[in-house]
Amino acid sequence: MTIDWSRPWLEPYRRWGAVLGQTPEDGRSVAEGLSTLNASDWPSSPPVHFVPSTALPENEAYEAFIHRTQTVPTRDNLHDLFNGLVWWRFPRAKKRLNELQAAEIASHGIRQVRGALRDALTLFDENAALLQAPVALTDALQRRDWRALFITHRSLWAEAKLTLFGHALMEKLVTPRKNITAHVWLLPPGDDLETLLLDSLKPEVLAQKPFHPLPVLGVPLWWPDNDALDFYEDKTVFRGPSETSKSP
């Protein structure tokens, strides 16, 4: 499947995606494609290497293997391609998430039901988006006041920054659907996004799952259909706090 790197939500990864081309469609494995990138193309070198998925032993947990070997088993699909890009863009944060996962596995083993911390770590890794925004927007998001968030305070989105982190979220957005919803992690304003993120990744905070659902195609300028303000009247997507929330 072809990735449209011009999509606004892929802007943080766009020039690096162009380096990769359409891996795995161009004949290289995803691990090979990610390994062709060099430190001069990125904010910093990743703390891991990318290897074929066959390197993962059948009896070892994925996160524990990464922690033990500093290598990431990588399949030839878009899911793992985006995962690799996030490792390049946010190497310290990804390493911190992996350290926390590995510590939980070492302490408790692999259980049928994840504990609160491992569940939050997985949600973050797969579906998080990082939001730095004016207080009026973050307050509206926390209340799930979609009219205030997207209509009343629409102009304030020019001062906001939403950065996708979850690789499953990015994979879903390759074929955009109105109901695709991110788990938003709020961060204060600041230019060093990764340092702000790293400082916030505390186990006791993560375990509380302080995420906020956000249908990402509602973000102004991210999707042409939301120029028509009745876009937000769809109650199957823009649900209030008392309604059941899902994250497709």
Taking alpha carbons only, the member of 198, 187, 80, 89 closest to residue 132 is 187
Half-sphere exposure of 41 (CA within 13 A, CB side): 16
User: What does pLDDT average to over the chain?
Assistant: 91
Q: Is 197 left (phi over 0), alpha (psi -120 to 50) or beta?
A: alpha
Please write the tens of the pLDDT for every residue from 19-32. 776 555 567 799 99
Checking if the pLDDT of 39 tops 80, the result is no
Q: Where are the domains of the chain?
A: 8-117, 125-233
Count of CB atoms situated within 10 Å of the CB of 53: 16
SS3 state at 213? strand
Give the pLDDT of residue 26. Answer: 63
Please write the tens of the pLDDT for every residue from 199-226. 999 999 999 999 999 999 999 999 999 9
Task: Find out whether 104 and 117 touch, Cβ atoms under 8 Å.
Answer: yes
Taking alpha carbons only, the member of 3, 24, 5 closest to residue 13 is 5
Tokens of 187: 């961060």
Count of CB atoms situated within 10 Å of the CB of 216: 21
SS3 state at 232? helix
Please write the tens of the pLDDT for every residue from 129-181. 999 999 999 999 999 999 999 999 999 999 999 999 999 999 999 999 999 99
Give the pLDDT of residue 244. Answer: 43
SS3 state at 51? strand
Q: What does the radius of gyration of the chain's CA atoms come to, in whole angstroms?
A: 18
Beta strands per DSSP E along the chain: 49-52, 71-74, 128-132, 161-164, 181-186, 212-215
Checking if the pLDDT of 36 tops 60, the result is yes
The answer to whether the peptide bond before residue 24 is cis (omega within 30 degrees of 0) is yes
Q: Any idea what DSSP says for residue 149? A: I
